[in-house]
Amino acid sequence: MIRYNLGMIEVRPIEAHEIEAAKYVIFKTAYAIFNEAISLEESIAKYSALGVLKDMDDVRKNYFNNGGTFLVTLEDSRIIGTGAIRYLEDGICELKRMWLLTEYHGQGLGYRMIQELFEIARAKGYKFMRLATDGEVQTHAVGFYRRLGFYDIPRYGADDPEDLAMEIAL
């Protein structure tokens, strides 16, 4: 596993005690991007009750033991970003939980995270990486993925049928 340590920024596998902090980063970032009409605390309670991040309750089972990994980006030991891959089907992994606090956008940190995930995916023998995202609200993310070489594919899986599906050859 390559560990980035760029000044005060580090990218490494998540540790069990960091899961709640990682969830908070995802909820906070989504809250800002989706422009929720309720408070952040209400939004977290709402989406937690719906089980939106239930896969993170057992990161070992759903990521590390499922042909993948779950990484965090830290600044001075504080989680500021997340990114993960997991097995989808033979030769194909799925990018999940790629989030970075909005105040860190545009600094190359998402790029560093995705490059680490590409390297891990290749080392695990994956030939393609897929993802699904909200193509209407997540325009910044979609642009980022397209710049990396992701292209649109037909929808897959059981997530939101309105989501945009993308893939990249590794």
Tell me the three state secondary structure of residue 117. helix
Dmax of the chain from CA atoms?
A: 43
Average pLDDT (154-170) is 85
Could you tell me the pTM of the whole model? 0.91
Structural domain count of the chain: 1
Q: Which domain holds residue 39?
A: 4-169
* Tens of pLDDT, residues 112-157: 999 999 999 999 999 999 999 988 888 889 999 999 999 999 988 7
Rounded-to-integer distance, Cα 30 and Cα 24, Å: 10
* Tens of pLDDT, residues 67-120: 999 999 999 889 999 999 999 999 999 999 999 999 999 889 999 999 999 999
Total Cβ atoms within 10 A of residue 125: 11
pLDDT higher than threshold 80 for residue 12: yes
CATH number at residue 145: 3.40.630.30
Q: What is the DSSP string of 41-65?
A: HHHHHHHHHTTTTGGGGGHIIIIIT
Would you say 93 and 68 are in contact if contact means Cβ atoms under 8 Å apart? yes
Distances (CA, A) of 154 to 2, 134, 146: 33, 14, 16
